[in-house]
């Protein structure tokens, strides 16, 4: 008799979870495609492809290993299909690792209450456990912060990362001594890219018969989606995923660190690994990634700063964010300020789909907005040109590819939204549907926490905001833009600088005493009343134009 194991869409690997403990002849694998999931949100077409094509290839790979496979494709949710299956086939308890996504956990709980018999074990695709988190931060829940006030619960990623380095022994000379004598080499990673080092050509994996069949099926079944199938070239087999990671390790990582924060219109992907979509469905495992990077350092193939910088992203940031989501129950324990209903234009088709879904959901998504930001996300995010080169470059890349690197997410897309006061929930939902690597445990803490400060400072110590000077320094965008980054007011000025100062002015009560913002507030306080009014007017004009879907001028 076989032990039946449910492997969800984001744990497609036989080296983790209950499947890892079974010989092929003892294992039964259940894979499920749920139309309910696909209809929940208008996901990017390339995300749907990368997930489903990897799942279908995984099914064949497991069959070839001798595992019995049940593959279901149906309208109901995962939990409902599992219960149907259990009843139809008389299956005993179905085994699985604790789901990573809150949404899936909730779905399964609903059907467990109706009779679904599950045996849920730990999820060893993570590098850390709830106990690790508690060892660093204690057991106190992360609940409703008083924004910026005393008693604010704050979690510093660095503390967690320090603990994780010691726990795993990665890049350690001894149990307490970090290789190179320090925890982090972050300061080395601040260069703009001017073409100094050529960016290697990435391997491309054009659609095979299975992916083409999916494209055909998805095109004719009215599944709501955004983006395009054109140009899909992500790996979908286990061996191609492995080969892609080896390419990233050998060819990209040696230059990742120095150009990590750079933005280039000629080289949109620069030296970023772009492994997140594959790692978030477990085709590439984080434990392999950090081990390979540490080995490359040991073999002198990677300098320490490069190796440490990359390991920090995964052993530090990725694990940290997932725990933030867990301890805030997806931010539901944070003070809620629901967005007031807003009128929308017809071209915000996708935003409407998301909103309808949110309104219909019994378990409404969290809408913290510590900065009281409630403006609807403007059409520019859905691909309508804004005339701001940085924004249009970012959104057209995302609409096509379903991916952009971290700094475009943080310092272009989120920065503008935070400065303008666009709703953090709408921004989160936009990221969730637009990116191939978005899942609730990672997209919600990154947007509601790190990038917009909607959580009031649980995740980060201050909002990540900047004016035009930062974009000009770190990218080649401003040279190609109609708007001048050196001018902050008047016709043809880049609105980012005016938006930045009026943002600080608007939130002075809340942020004025934040030590990390002392310098900009000192500068703001020296500005005359008329200068401030001019900046405010410039900022408001840009917001009105963005909201109307007009070009910013
Ligand atoms: P690299 O730059 O090569 O970094 C390597 C890996 O480190 C990434 O693949 C990722 O797994 C991990 N990592 C780095 N930073 C983070 C972080 N802040 N949180 C979690 N993991 C991190 N990442 C997602 O995987 N899914 C998302 O939906 C997502 N949404 C984001 C939204 C915003 C507003 C911001 C600021 C960041 C978001 N991130 C998200 C984090 C990060 O931007 C992406 O993981 C990264 O850009 C993916 O590209 P990469 O694989 O080339 O990463």
Determine the Cα angle at 246 with ends 241 and 251, to 5°: 125
Token pair belonging to 348: 């915000």
Residues with CB under 6 A from ligand 1: 272-276, 279-280, 313-314, 317-318, 321, 405-406, 409-410, 414, 431, 435, 437-438, 442-443, 446-447, 450-451
Domain end (from 121, 150, 180)? 121
CA of 86 to the centre of ligand 1 (A): 37
In a shared domain, residues 80 and 194? no
SS3 label, residue 103: helix
Instruction: Output the CA torsion sign for 249, 252, 254, 257.
Output: negative
In a shared domain, residues 71 and 194? no
In a shared domain, residues 406 and 284? no
Res 322: pLDDT:
98
In a shared domain, residues 141 and 109? no
Residues 462 and 514 sit within 8 Å (Cβ to Cβ): yes
CA of 406 to the centre of ligand 1 (A): 6
Assign residue 521 the CATH number of its domain. Answer: 1.10.579.10
Q: Which atom of ligand 1 is nearest to the CA of 438?
A: 28
CA of 303 to the centre of ligand 1 (A): 22
Determine the Cα angle at 443 with ends 438 and 447, to 5°: 140
Name the nearest CA neighbour of 407 among 244, 198, 126, 193.
Answer: 193
For residue range 226-271, what is the model confidence (pLDDT) as tens digits? 999 999 999 999 999 999 999 999 999 999 888 999 999 999 999 9
Q: Which atom of ligand 1 is nearest to the CA of 443?
A: 28
In a shared domain, residues 116 and 136? no
| pLDDT cut 90: percent of the chain above it | 85
In a shared domain, residues 376 and 516? yes
C-alpha span between 382 and 404 (Å, rounded): 15
For residue range 273-309, what is the model confidence (pLDDT) as tens digits? 999 999 999 999 999 999 999 999 999 889 999 999 9
Res 1: pLDDT:
86
Q: How many structural domains are present in the chain?
A: 3
What is the number of alpha carbons within 13 Å of residue 524 lying toward its C-beta?
23
R_g (Cα) of the chain, nearest Å: 24
In a shared domain, residues 71 and 148? no
Assign residue 101 the CATH number of its domain. Answer: 3.40.50.620
What is the number of alpha carbons within 13 Å of residue 224 lying toward its C-beta?
16
CA of 313 to the centre of ligand 1 (A): 8
Domain end (from 71, 86, 121)? 121
Residues 6+ apart with CB under 8 A from 542: 420, 495, 498, 499, 552
For residue range 20-59, what is the model confidence (pLDDT) as tens digits? 999 999 999 999 999 999 988 999 999 999 999 999 999 9
Res 349: pLDDT:
46
Residues 155 and 161 sit within 8 Å (Cβ to Cβ): no
Q: Which atom of ligand 1 is nearest to the CA of 464?
A: 36
Res 141: pLDDT:
61
Residue 230 within a domain:
no
Residues 286 and 134 sit within 8 Å (Cβ to Cβ): no
* Res 129 pLDDT > 70: yes
Residue bearing the CA closest to ligand 1, atom 9 = 276
Helix (H) or strand (E) holding 53: helix 45-64
Residue 93 within a domain:
yes
Res 534: pLDDT:
98
CA of 416 to the centre of ligand 1 (A): 19
Residue 343 within a domain:
no
In a shared domain, residues 251 and 285? yes
CA of 154 to the centre of ligand 1 (A): 21
In a shared domain, residues 479 and 532? yes
Instruction: Tell me the pLDDT band of 360, cut-offs 50, 70 and 90.
Output: low
* Res 358 pLDDT > 80: no
In a shared domain, residues 51 and 169? no
CA of 427 to the centre of ligand 1 (A): 16
C-alpha span between 21 and 36 (Å, rounded): 31
C-alpha span between 162 and 176 (Å, rounded): 10
pTM beyond 0.90? yes
Least confident of 196-200, 334-338, 383-387, 528-532: 334-338
Residue bearing the CA closest to ligand 1, atom 47 = 406
Instruction: Tell me the pLDDT band of 347, cut-offs 50, 70 and 90.
Output: very low
Instruction: Tell me the pLDDT band of 146, cut-offs 50, 70 and 90.
Output: very low
213-235 average pLDDT score: 94
Res 346: pLDDT:
32
463-483 average pLDDT score: 97
Residue bearing the CA closest to ligand 1, atom 20 = 318
Q: Which atom of ligand 1 is nearest to the CA of 252?
A: 3
Res 185: pLDDT:
86
Residue bearing the CA closest to ligand 1, atom 29 = 443
Name the nearest CA neighbour of 376 among 243, 549, 121.
Answer: 549
Name the nearest CA neighbour of 353 among 217, 214, 226, 216.
Answer: 226
For residue range 12-22, what is the model confidence (pLDDT) as tens digits? 999 999 999 99
529-538 average pLDDT score: 98
| Residue range of the domain that includes 154 | 130-222+238-326
371-381 average pLDDT score: 93
C-alpha span between 428 and 434 (Å, rounded): 10
Residue bearing the CA closest to ligand 1, atom 19 = 318
| CB-based burial label for 398 (10 Å; 0-12, 13-18, 19+) | buried
Helix (H) or strand (E) holding 245: helix 238-247
Best probe residue, ligand 1, of 101, 276, 317, 415 (max atoms within 8 Å of C-beta): 276
In a shared domain, residues 73 and 157? no
* Res 88 pLDDT > 80: yes
Res 361: pLDDT:
66
């Amino acid at each position: 008799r076989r032990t039946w194991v449910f492997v969800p869409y984001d744990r497609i690997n036989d080296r983790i979870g209950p499947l890892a403990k079974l010989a092929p002849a003892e294992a039964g694998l259940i894979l499920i495609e749920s139309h309910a999931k696909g209809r929940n949100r208008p996901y990017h077409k390339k995300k749907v492809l990368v997930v489903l094509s990897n799942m279908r290839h995984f099914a064949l790979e497991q069959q070839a290993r001798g595992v019995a496979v049940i593959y279901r494709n149906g309208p109901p949710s995962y939990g409902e299909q599992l219960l149907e299956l259990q009843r139809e086939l008389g299956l005993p308890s179905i085994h699985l690792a604790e789901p990573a996504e809150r949404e899936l956990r909730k779905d399964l709980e609903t059907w467990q209450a109706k009779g679904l018999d599950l045996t849920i074990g730990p999820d060893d695709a993570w590098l850390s456990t709830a106990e690790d988190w508690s060892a660093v931060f204690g057991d106190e829940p992360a609940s409703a912060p008083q924004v910026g006030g005393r008693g604010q619960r704050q979690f510093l990623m660095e503390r967690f990362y320090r603990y994780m380095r010691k726990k795993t022994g990665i890049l350690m000379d001894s149990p307490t001594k970090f290789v190179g004598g320090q925890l982090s080499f972050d300061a080395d990673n601040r260069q703009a890219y001017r073409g100094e080092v050529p960016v290697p050509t990435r391997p491309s994996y054009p659609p095979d018969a299975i992916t083409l069949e999916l494209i055909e099926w998805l095109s004719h079944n009215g599944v709501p989606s955004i983006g395009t199938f054109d140009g899909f070239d992500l790996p979908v087999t286990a061996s191609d995923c492995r080969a892609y990671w080896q390419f990233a390790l050998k060819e990209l990582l040696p230059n990742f660190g120095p150009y990590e924060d750079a933005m280039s219109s000629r080289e949109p992907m620069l030296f970023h690994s772009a492994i997140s979509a594959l790692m978030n469905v477990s085709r590439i495992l984080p434990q392999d990634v950090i081990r390979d990077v540490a080995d490359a350092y040991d073999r002198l193939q990677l300098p320490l700063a490069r190796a440490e910088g990359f390991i920090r992203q995964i052993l530090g940031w990725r694990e940290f964010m997932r725990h933030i989501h867990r301890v805030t129950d997806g931010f539901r324990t944070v003070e809620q300020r629901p967005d007031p209903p807003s009128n929308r234009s017809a071209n915000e088709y996708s935003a409407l789909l998301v909103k309808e879904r949110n309104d219909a959901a019994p378990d409404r998504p969290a809408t913290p907005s510590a900065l009281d930001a409630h403006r609807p996300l403007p059409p520019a995010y859905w691909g309508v040109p804004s005339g701001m080169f940085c924004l249009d470059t970012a959104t057209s890349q995302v609409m096509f590819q379903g991916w952009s690197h971290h700094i475009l997410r943080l310092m272009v897309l989120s920065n503008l939204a935070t400065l303008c006061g666009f709703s953090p929930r709408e921004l989160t939902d936009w990221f969730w549907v637009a990116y191939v690597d978005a899942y609730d445990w990672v997209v919600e803490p990154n947007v509601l926490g790190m990038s917009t400060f909607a959580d009031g400072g649980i995740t980060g110590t201050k909002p990540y905001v900047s004016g035009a000077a930062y974009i000009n320094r770190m990218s080649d965008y401003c040279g190609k833009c109609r708007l001048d980054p050196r001018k902050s007011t008047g016709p043809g000025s880049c609105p980012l600088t005016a938006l930045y100062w009026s943002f600080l002015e608007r939130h002075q009560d809340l942020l004025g005493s934040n030590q990390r913002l002392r310098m900009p507030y000192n500068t703001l306080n020296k500005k005359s009343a008329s200068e401030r009014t001019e900046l405010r007017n410039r900022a408001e004009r840009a917001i009105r134009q963005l909201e109307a879907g007009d070009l910013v001028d």
